[in-house]
Amino acid sequence: MTATASRGTQRRAPSADTPARAGRTGKPRVEPIFYAFLFPAIALFSLAITLPALIGMFYSVTDYVGFGEYDFIGFGNYAALFTDPRILSSYGFTMGFSLVTVIAVNAIALALAIGLNSKIKFKTALRGIFFIPMVISGIVIAYVFNYLFSNTLPTLTGTGSILVDPNLAWLSIVIVTAWQSIPSAIIIYLAGLLAIPEEVYEAGSLDGATGWRQFTSITLPLVAGYVVINTVLGFKGFLNAYEIIIGLTNGGPGTATFSVAMTIFTGFTSGDYAYQMANAVIFFIVTVVVSILQLQLIRRRGVSL
């Protein structure tokens, strides 16, 4: 009896698969190698992101022009932003452009994804062709379309270039941005469509659901989470529109297509460093607020990025 009890109380030797023991405080022990990977990443992030951001916030309350001496002016730059028509116009253009482009990209990408997911010939080859714009530089795409909008299309249609029309120039930016962004959205939608069991469509067919009814009752509800993902990623990316605008209109005609990013960067080289740094801080706050609202939408939908 004693021998049996002693055997039962003997401790087993830890195996290779046994997790590390917790320390005396009950917390799991962290291996030193984790810190060796963590600290360099934190240091690089701080030097490249955090420190420049703090310096920029400091200069935003001064009259610094990018060089030389400066004086503190408090929140004068911030107050001037809300009465500057050029700044307000850039925010209006950026928000409107982002909203229209998100709608266009998601509508076209979902339609193409459904087509590429159906039983058609040369499906693999077509997928490769549709994904080409995603790997081309935005500035290269912008210059190519600039030539098309300025020369080829006006000749074929007999009309002037939309790039010089203040009321239509924004449309060219939407077209080119959507053309480059649609492939990445297609990939996400294809992942969502492939996750839908085929039995669901078979059951729908037995109930008489075909065509548009299948799309509205089966496909769209089951890929709604992927719509949210594409909307969030797309809107955040379009808010920072810069290189395509530079290659297409350079902010023109006049300042009709100046985005917030363009306004900030051009101000850095034209003596408005502190003023545009204040603009950058406001834009950062706007982006954070938009991100928080989008995260709330994601949580309500139960989607994880």
- What is the model's pLDDT at position 26? 60
pLDDT digits (tens, 9 = 90+) for 171-199: 999 999 999 999 999 999 999 999 988 88
Mean of pLDDT values over 215-219: 87
Residue with tokens 């982002």: 98
Domain ranges of the chain: 85-301
Task: Tell me: pLDDT of 275 over 70.
Answer: yes
**Measured between alpha carbons, how far is 94 from 108 in angstroms, rounded to an integer?**
21
- What is the model's pLDDT at position 6? 47
Task: Tell me: pLDDT of 303 over 70.
Answer: no
- What is the model's pLDDT at position 249? 92
Lowest-pLDDT range, 22-26, 53-57, 75-79? Answer: 22-26
- What is the model's pLDDT at position 301? 62
Task: Tell me: pLDDT of 20 over 50.
Answer: no
pLDDT digits (tens, 9 = 90+) for 237-260: 999 999 999 999 999 898 899 999
Q: What percent of the chain has pLDDT over 70?
A: 88
Q: The pTM is what?
A: 0.81
Task: Tell me: pLDDT of 18 over 50.
Answer: no
190 in Cβ contact with 113 (< 8 Å): yes
pLDDT band with cut points at 50, 70 and 90 for residue 58: very high
- Looking at the domain that runs over 85-301, which CATH code has it been given? 1.10.3720.10
One-letter amino acid of 47: L
Q: Within the chain, where are the H helices?
A: 2-9, 32-45, 51-59, 76-81, 85-117, 123-130, 138-147, 153-157, 169-194, 198-206, 212-214, 220-222, 224-238, 243-248, 260-268, 273-301
Residues 6+ apart with CB under 8 A from 198: none
Task: Tell me: pLDDT of 12 over 80.
Answer: no
pLDDT band with cut points at 50, 70 and 90 for residue 84: very high
